Amino acid sequence: MNSRLHLALLALWLLLPIAQGARALDSDSEQPMYIEADRVEVREEENMSLYAGHVLITQGSLRLSADEVTVYHYEDRRPRQIIALGTPARLTQRLDDSEDELQAFALRMEYDVERDHLTLMEQAELIQGDDQVSGERILYDRSRAQFRAGGGGRVRITLTPDGRDKNTTAAP
């Protein structure tokens, strides 16, 4: 087997435990959403709201901070798509059955509510516990707890074995 292919398959096999354990807290979607910003512009005829300046959105354990957030919503005001811009925009959320938190950073984040997909673009980074992936584009399927990364430049992945003492470093 080609050594590059072997390494790629090994990396994918190692990533499966990360993806399987990274389900967002289900009860968050049942909680009210709170939004704070310096300015807001609501365009009811376009089913769109624009929040600018130190934007903070919280819903249960989910916390999103950004410079600007645009929310496209259905006529009943439920969010349909959320676009966050920041330097970087930051998202944190507690995970089901875990004390770990999912952390996401990017210059642009797009969340498709129906598909439960979070797309991180430009200087994207996704962190769960001591494991992380970074690249120019990361698509995180929250309902399946899976991700894909790529889209220009190299993808960097750090995997930390379970039970490893965080204060111990391996010899080179």
* Domain architecture of the chain: domains with CATH: 3-158 (2.60.450.10)
Cα separation, 13 vs 78, in Å, equals 37
pLDDT band for position 122 (cuts 50, 70, 90): very high
Q: What is the mean pLDDT of residues 129-134?
A: 89
Decide: residue 123, CB within 10 A, 0-12 exposed, 13-18 middle, 19+ buried.
Answer: middle
CA atoms of 53 and 86, how far apart (whole Å): 10
Mean pLDDT, the chain, as a whole number? 80
What is the Cα–Cα distance from 125 to 39, expressed in whole angstroms?
28
For residue 9, pLDDT over 70 is answered with no
Confidence of residue 26 (pLDDT cuts 50, 70, 90): low
Write out pLDDT tens, residues 27-50.
766 788 899 999 999 999 999 999
According to the model, what pLDDT value does residue 171 have? 45
Give 117 or 3, the one with higher predicted confidence.
117
